[in-house]
Amino acid sequence: MILVTGGAGYIGSHFVLYCKEHGEQPIVLDNLVYGHKEAVPAGVPLIVGDMGDSKLLDEIFTRYPIDAVVHFAAYAYVGESVTDPAKYYLNNTVATLAVLEAMRRHGVSNFIFSSTCATYGNPITVPMDENHPQAPINPYGQSKYFVEQILKAYSLAYKLKFVALRYFNAAGGDPEGRIGESHDPETHLIPIALQVAQGKRPHISVFGTDYDTPDGTCIRDYIHILDLAQAHQLALKLLRDGGESSIFNLGSEQGYSVNDVLNICEKVTRRTIKRVNEPRRAGDPPRLVASASKARTVLGWAPTFQNLDAIIETAWKWEEKRHY
Ligand code: UFG
């Protein structure tokens, strides 16, 4: 059985649905601060509580035959992490230690960690592989970077084995539209653009048109949420089969500018999306594109969504059916 922390959040809930449909038995721990109980599929136990609550963790590990933890629970607003860093270090780093300590007490040794390309900071080389220097430029990226360091030390000293997955930009939703991206507040490019297409917002702000990129807007690597889910399952298999602790980038290896993304959103929705050019948003690196060849080679990862049109179609399906 797998304990999925943050399993009611955007990425966690898609993993839970994916692994339930692939013969796994997930159980979700989520405090529902940002997660949605509606995102947890019927039949999957949802424990509402804090991952830093050691007593609750002891109860969970005693009650369920858990052999692995897939750890999504985290705060992920980069801007907020700058204005309230304590919130990020205490939750994303310190509370994660409580989970790792509970695993040690209960002899659970497999850990999959949601890391991020934000641990790299500003790109020195593009595409970025796993050996790119890590110099996070905000407390969110640092809070995840610290966990990676803790995992390395724990795996050397104790019986822990881990895979850290450094996501680039997670995008899209369940192709059937049962679950999807829902943040409050929403800050991400694709859902905001689609809400403009729906008439729910008047326009989208384009943050920065003077970057050193072909059209002046930032370039990102968008990867479908189910391709991320697949990678987690393969990472789990790697550890269960006796594989070594490892770190992998997860991205599509293709870069799209903000304007490219908005053009594709217009194509998919067949509506005009009003754009207003604004100054740069603090902390945005100009270009983030993954080299994900290690995940393809070592994990056998084969992303199924090959272009951004197909990814945005699933996001649009969700926006049209959204129920949370
Ligand atoms: N953008 C706009 N207008 C908007 C929203 C976003 O122009 O209304 C731009 C951003 O400035 C950025 C790009 O669109 O250039 C993508 O922005 P998102 O907010 O969708 O995604 P980020 O690249 O900022 O963030 C993602 C994850 C974070 C993670 C980060 C790592 O959502 O959790 O990647 O860099 F930390």
**168 φ, ψ (degrees, to nearest 5):** -90, -135
For residue 182, tell me if it sits in a domain.
Answer: no
216/227 same-domain check: no
Pocket test for ligand 1, best of 78, 249, 263 (most atoms within 8 A of CB): 78
pLDDT band at 106 (very low <50, low <70, confident <90, very high): very high
Residue of 182, 175, 148, 298 lying closest to 231 (CA atoms): 298
CA 3 to chain centre: 17
- Is residue 140 flagged as an active site residue? yes
Question: What are 204's strand-pairing partners?
Answer: 275
CATH value at residue 278: 3.90.25.10
What is the C-alpha to C-alpha distance for residues 222 and 214, in angstroms, rounded to an integer?
18
Q: State the residue range of the domain holding 65.
A: 2-171+222-250
Mean pLDDT of 219-226: 98
What confidence tens digit (pLDDT) does each residue in 149-164 have?
A: 999 999 999 999 999 9
What is the pLDDT at residue 265?
Answer: 98
Question: Ligand 1 in contact with 77 (CB < 6 A)?
Answer: no
Q: What is the DSSP string of 119-184?
A: GT-S-SSSSB-TTSPP--SSHHHHHHHHHHHHHHHHHHHSS-EEEEEEE-EEE---TTSSS----S
What is the pLDDT at residue 283?
Answer: 85
Q: Over the range 235-245, which residues count as b (16 or more CB within 10 Å of their CB) and which as e? A: bbebbeeeeeb
Measured from the Cα of 278, ligand 1's closest atom is 7
Measured from the Cα of 218, ligand 1's closest atom is 15
What is the C-alpha to C-alpha distance for residues 18 and 104, in angstroms, rounded to an integer?
27
What confidence tens digit (pLDDT) does each residue in 306-315 have?
A: 899 999 999 9
Total number of domains constituting the chain:
2
Ligand 1 centroid from CA 317, angstroms = 21
Q: Which of 234, 250, 266 represents a domain boundary (last residue)?
A: 250
For residue 176, tell me if it sits in a domain.
Answer: no
pLDDT band at 144 (very low <50, low <70, confident <90, very high): very high
34/147 same-domain check: yes
Distances, alpha carbon 212 to alpha carbons 229, 279, 286, in Å? 33, 14, 7
What is the C-alpha to C-alpha distance for residues 103 and 27, in angstroms, rounded to an integer?
15
What percent of the chain is predicted at pLDDT more than 70? 100
Ligand 1 centroid from CA 260, angstroms = 14
What percent of the chain is predicted at pLDDT more than 90? 99
Mean pLDDT of 89-99: 98
21/104 same-domain check: yes
Q: Which of 200, 234, 250 represents a domain boundary (last residue)?
A: 250
Whether 282 has a pLDDT exceeding 90, the answer reads: no
Mean pLDDT of 255-280: 98
80/117 same-domain check: yes
241/100 same-domain check: yes
Q: Which of 198, 231, 250 represents a domain boundary (last residue)?
A: 250
| Full-model pTM | 0.97
Pocket test for ligand 1, best of 80, 207, 252, 265 (most atoms within 8 A of CB): 207
Average pLDDT over all residues of the chain: 97
In the numeric block, the tokens 């030390």 are attached to: 153
Could you say which of 10, 88, 140, 167 is catalytic?
A: 140
Q: Tokens at residue 31, please?
A: 């405090």
Mean pLDDT of 96-121: 98
pLDDT band at 24 (very low <50, low <70, confident <90, very high): very high
Q: Which helix (H) or strand (E) segment is 62 a member of?
A: helix 54-63
